[in-house]
Amino acid sequence: MNAAFQGIGASVRRTEDRRFVSGNGHYTDDMNRHGQLHAIIKRSDRPHARILGIDKTAALAAPGVVAIYTGEDMQADGVGGLPCGWGVKNKDGSPMAEPAHPVLAIGKARHVGDPIAVVIAATRQQARDAAELLVIDMAALPGIAHVRDAIAPGAATVHDDVPGNVCYDWHIGDKDATDAAFARAAHVVKLDLLNNRLVPNAMEPRCAIGEYDRSGGEYTLTTTSQNPHVIRLLMGAFVLHLPEHKLRVVAPDVGGGFGSKIYHYAEEAIVTWAAGKLGVPVKWTSDRSEAFMSDAHGRDHDSTAEMAVDAEGHFLALRVRTIANMGAYLSTFAAAVPTYLYATLLAGVYKTPAIYAEVKAVFTNTVPVDAYRGAGRPEAAFLLERLVDVVARETGIDRVELRRRNFIPADAYPYQTPVALEYDSGNHLKTLEGALKASDWAGFPARRAAARAKGKLRGIGMSTYLEACGIAPSKVAGALGARAGLYEVANIRIHPTGSVSVFTGTHSHGQGHETTFAQLVSDQLGIPFSQIEIVHGDTSKIPFGMGTYGSRSLAVGGSAMVKAADKIIAKGKKIAAFLMEASVEDIEFKDGKFSVAGTDRSKTIGEIAFCAYVPHNYPIEELEPGLDETAFYDPKNFTYPGGCHICEVEIDMDVGTTEVVRFTAVDDFGRIINPMIVAGQVQGGIAQGIGQALLENAVYDDQAQLVSGSYMDYTMPRAHDIPGVAISDEGTLCTHNPLGAKGCGEAGAIGSPPAVINAVVDALSEFGVRHIDMPASSQKIWSIIQSSRLPMAAE
């Protein structure tokens, strides 16, 4: 590969990073509009309370205050509630409970951080001062934080119209076949496990600016979003009742999302609506404390998993019961996460013939829970890969051998799982063998002994995970309850002098799309990388799009680009045929040149573009001028990245701290455009996975007060908590999209938590530890060592 090569497969440095690291990024909070007012949201400090009255008098009289609105004010003006984008059905076919989600609380506050009123003033300081003068008369109600408390008899009711707090009680798979397999199993292994609640913690807190243009009656919302068109759709249609042509949503540079910026949040509707009411721009910026109590949280599952195994260690059936915390309201995609993004992945990489999963989603007095990096798949991978390790231990079969024995073999693809999905490609043995080698699995006993000599407990663990990306065929998603299509859109505009603007409906908030997509288009059209600009994040520029989440941008958005490039090439061939007096069938396109087959006659794509825009010598009778093509790509299936992660930890026995000393990831992401960016995504995902496994925990007390509401108590991983990761790829191509790409954005966060916990449990095996819930904090590990030492001492 020569130094100048910048096409598919080149580790091109991220072009966007220059502006990010030099302070020239354009983030929402950097923008200030002429005459703008500032909004402060008054939030509930109670987990659960009836709102008896709100007295605005003193606050309205405070200096600089322009307006104060409550939920009732907005409702009276016709503002609707925040919609849920996915409907799930109960076992009996009835729809899930979908209680009202007012933009500002009406009647009751349901979690700490629930927005109750907005104070708008000339300065942020004045709005804050006035918010303190707002008198909210509240009567406390008992708060519920934990899922088992929510469904306990006599529990308080989060929504008066949802008695029992159950949002839905859903299932998937074949119950009878599963029960039958359990009845004849040689072993049944059962494991209870929790998936801890996480706060996403994007580096940039959320921010929104609403504007209203009186001359045209147009609204503009600038917001920290992963999907501006989705926000326009939801806010326009359901909340503010604005037609799309009068509502522009811009998501400029966004500093991280991890899922938390997918959703349509109340503050977006509040500033947009208030800008219209007041006729001036209104800006709101979250501070970090607010983010902890208002950005959707992630995970929070309480599960029981059982595996039926025959005498040779073959998995016969899997039975899973999960209670998932929805928080106080249904966030945009909340309902889909513990169902179609979780239970459908419970086959993992194994040919388990029968699976039955039941998922109960419940309301609690906590921040809404929605997709967070991995969204459902980390929950599935953690459950399954922990369970497999316990099966290995309890059947006495080596954990690597047990996995090998149960893998879906490479020649069984395409493979239909018992839980709806059809995997298109994969080779789990290859990624496993690659990881065993790269991690020197065989050499572990020596490393363990060496650690022991230093007084450390060393453990090794693996996960052979599989996940689903590139959501999703619209028809399938629709049948499963999605209330939108999930295609992606690309518009490639070749300019008259040959440079290119590519408009994509995906959104980059750290992923490096401006580089990856430019490489892709450069490769497809043979136009130099430096001549290609990727444009995203503005509904007034981009035809349409569903945004970035679920590692869909390359697999779906990139495929749309390939389609659009194909159209450019097809049109270019017609122009070239005309210019070179050949037939279209004889025109070949390669490396940016249209040539007549078997001759040395050719035209560059730049010449063709110029000709298309200055059509003096042009087939104007048959062909429109211009070289500008749009494609919508609807995926044919999910993509199925997978791989093997191997983690080694050392535990300080005296104090219980765990250090991740080695980490190896061998993944299968299909086609890779930029290996350096992929490695960065994997490293970042693993950092979050190690964070979940060892450190992070959003803690609510039993009254549903948020205890870990700042970095003083919420344990964010630091650089020194994360080891260097050995990353490699053993790819099999995706068979159903034009790139063969699978997606890599979340895999790190999916594969790593079970590998880490399996390693911790392995390290602690001599103490008889069977399982440890995340995060495996030093305190937890110390208690385990302590309590198992006591009986030993007594012996």
Partner 1 sequence: MYDFAYQKPSNVADAVKALGADPEAKALAGGQTFIPVLKQRLNKPTVIVDLSKLGLTGITVTATAVTIGGMTTHWDVAHSEAARKAIPGLVDLAGQIGDNQVRHRGTIGGSLANNDPSACYTSAVLALGATIKTDRRSIPADEFFAGMFTTVLEQGELITAVEFPIPEKSHYMKFRNPASRYAMVGVYVAKGPKGVRVAVTGAGQGGVFRHAAMEAALSANWSPDAVANIKTPPDDLNSDIHGSAEYRAHLIGVMAKRAVAAAG
Shortest distance, position 700 Cβ to partner 1, whole Å: 11
CB 16 within 8 A of CB 85: no
Whichever of 417 and 688 has its CB closer to partner 1, that residue is 688
Three-state secondary-structure class, residue 696: coil
Part in contact with partner 1 (CB under 8 A); list of ranges 49-57, 319-327, 681-689, 694-702: 694-702
Whichever of 320 and 776 has its CB closer to partner 1, that residue is 776
Which segments within 653-767 are labelled E, that is strand? 658-668, 725-729
- Per the DSSP assignment, residues forming a β-bridge with 303 are 193, 322
C-alpha closest to that of 548 among 230, 221, 188: 230
| 778 touching partner 1, by CB under 8 A | yes
Whichever of 437 and 718 has its CB closer to partner 1, that residue is 718
| 716 touching partner 1, by CB under 8 A | yes
Q: Give the distance from CA 676 to its chain's centroid.
A: 21
| 787 touching partner 1, by CB under 8 A | no
CA 388/CA 305 separation, integer angstroms: 10
User: By CB under 8 A, what part of segment 280-319 binds partner 1?
Assistant: 289
Residue with tokens 């949040």: 265
Whichever of 30 and 654 has its CB closer to partner 1, that residue is 654
Whichever of 758 and 777 has its CB closer to partner 1, that residue is 777
Residues for the chain: how many in total?
795
Whichever of 132 and 398 has its CB closer to partner 1, that residue is 132
| 427 touching partner 1, by CB under 8 A | no
CA 74/CA 239 separation, integer angstroms: 10
Shortest distance, position 771 Cβ to partner 1, whole Å: 21
Shortest distance, position 790 Cβ to partner 1, whole Å: 13
Rounded alpha-carbon distances, angstroms, from residue 88 to 233, 359, 370, 745:
20, 11, 14, 26
Whichever of 94 and 779 has its CB closer to partner 1, that residue is 779
Whichever of 583 and 786 has its CB closer to partner 1, that residue is 786
Whichever of 597 and 707 has its CB closer to partner 1, that residue is 707
| 530 touching partner 1, by CB under 8 A | no
Whichever of 211 and 650 has its CB closer to partner 1, that residue is 650
Q: Which of 24, 32, 123, 125 binds partner 1 (CB under 8 A)?
A: 125
Whichever of 125 and 530 has its CB closer to partner 1, that residue is 125
Q: What is the DSSP string of 28-83?
A: GGG---TT-EEEEEEE-SSSSEEEEEEE-HHHHTSTTEEEEEEHHHHHHTT--PPP
Whichever of 285 and 551 has its CB closer to partner 1, that residue is 285
| 94 touching partner 1, by CB under 8 A | no
| 24 touching partner 1, by CB under 8 A | no
User: By CB under 8 A, what part of segment 758-777 binds partner 1?
Assistant: 777
Q: How many CA atoms lie within 13 A of 762 on its CB side?
A: 25
- Which class for 790: exposed (0-12), middle (13-18), buried (19 or more C-beta within 10 A)? exposed
Part in contact with partner 1 (CB under 8 A); list of ranges 45-53, 268-276, 582-590, 712-720: 712-720
DSSP summary character for residue 462: E
Q: Which of 128, 404, 593, 601 binds partner 1 (CB under 8 A)?
A: 128
Shortest distance, position 121 Cβ to partner 1, whole Å: 14
Part in contact with partner 1 (CB under 8 A); list of ranges 250-258, 316-324, 632-640, 708-716: 708-716
Shortest distance, position 698 Cβ to partner 1, whole Å: 11
| 692 touching partner 1, by CB under 8 A | no
- Distance, first Cα to last Cα, the chain: 66
Q: How many CA atoms lie within 13 A of 174 on its CB side?
A: 15
CB 33 within 8 A of CB 281: yes
Q: Tokens representing 243?
A: 């037609």
Shortest distance, position 695 Cβ to partner 1, whole Å: 6
Part in contact with partner 1 (CB under 8 A); list of ranges 97-105, 575-583, 707-715, 742-750: 707-715
Whichever of 530 and 783 has its CB closer to partner 1, that residue is 783
Shortest distance, position 260 Cβ to partner 1, whole Å: 20
- Which class for 1: exposed (0-12), middle (13-18), buried (19 or more C-beta within 10 A)? exposed
Part in contact with partner 1 (CB under 8 A); list of ranges 251-259, 430-438, 550-558, 691-699: 691-699
Rounded alpha-carbon distances, angstroms, from residue 335 to 169, 376, 523, 549, 637:
11, 11, 39, 16, 21
Whichever of 17 and 713 has its CB closer to partner 1, that residue is 713
Shortest distance, position 715 Cβ to partner 1, whole Å: 4
CB 501 within 8 A of CB 511: no
Q: How many CA atoms lie within 13 A of 120 on its CB side?
A: 26
Shortest distance, position 757 Cβ to partner 1, whole Å: 17
Whichever of 533 and 721 has its CB closer to partner 1, that residue is 721
Shortest distance, position 47 Cβ to partner 1, whole Å: 17
User: By CB under 8 A, what part of segment 647-676 binds partner 1?
Assistant: 654-655
User: What are the residues whose beta carbons fall under 8 Å from the beta carbon of 446, sequence distance 6 or more?
Assistant: none
Q: Which of 715, 728, 735, 788 binds partner 1 (CB under 8 A)?
A: 715
Whichever of 679 and 774 has its CB closer to partner 1, that residue is 774
Which segments within 609-692 are labelled E, that is strand? 628-633, 642-652, 658-668
Count residues near partner 1 (CB under 8 A): 25
Q: Which of 697, 737, 752, 758 binds partner 1 (CB under 8 A)?
A: 697
84 phi and psi angles, rounded to 5 deg: -100, 135
Whichever of 290 and 488 has its CB closer to partner 1, that residue is 290
Shortest distance, position 6 Cβ to partner 1, whole Å: 37
Part in contact with partner 1 (CB under 8 A); list of ranges 426-434, 593-601, 713-721, 723-731: 713-721
Rounded alpha-carbon distances, angstroms, from residue 139 to 52, 122, 357:
7, 32, 40
Is omega for the bond preceding 368 within 30 degrees of 0, making it cis? no
Part in contact with partner 1 (CB under 8 A); list of ranges 85-93, 137-145, 252-260, 710-718: 710-718
User: What are the residues whose beta carbons fall under 8 Å from the beta carbon of 600, sequence distance 6 or more?
Assistant: none
User: What are the residues whose beta carbons fall under 8 Å from the beta carbon of 384, sequence distance 6 or more?
Assistant: 305, 318, 346, 348, 350, 754
Q: Which of 617, 779, 789, 792 binds partner 1 (CB under 8 A)?
A: 779
Q: Which of 60, 699, 726, 733 binds partner 1 (CB under 8 A)?
A: 699
Residue with tokens 């007390």: 701
Q: Give the distance from CA 113 to its chain's centroid.
A: 23
- Per the DSSP assignment, residues forming a β-bridge with 660 are 649
Q: Which of 604, 705, 782, 788 binds partner 1 (CB under 8 A)?
A: 782
| 712 touching partner 1, by CB under 8 A | yes
CA 502/CA 490 separation, integer angstroms: 7
Residue with tokens 């407990």: 457
CB 557 within 8 A of CB 631: no
| 707 touching partner 1, by CB under 8 A | yes
User: What are the residues whose beta carbons fall under 8 Å from the beta carbon of 499, sequence distance 6 or more?
Assistant: 527, 531, 532, 533
Q: Which of 714, 730, 762, 776 binds partner 1 (CB under 8 A)?
A: 714
Q: Tokens representing 645?
A: 């992660």
| 711 touching partner 1, by CB under 8 A | yes
Q: Which residues bind partner 1 (CB under 8 A)?
A: 125, 128-129, 132, 289, 654-655, 695, 697, 699, 707-708, 711-716, 718, 777-779, 782-783, 786
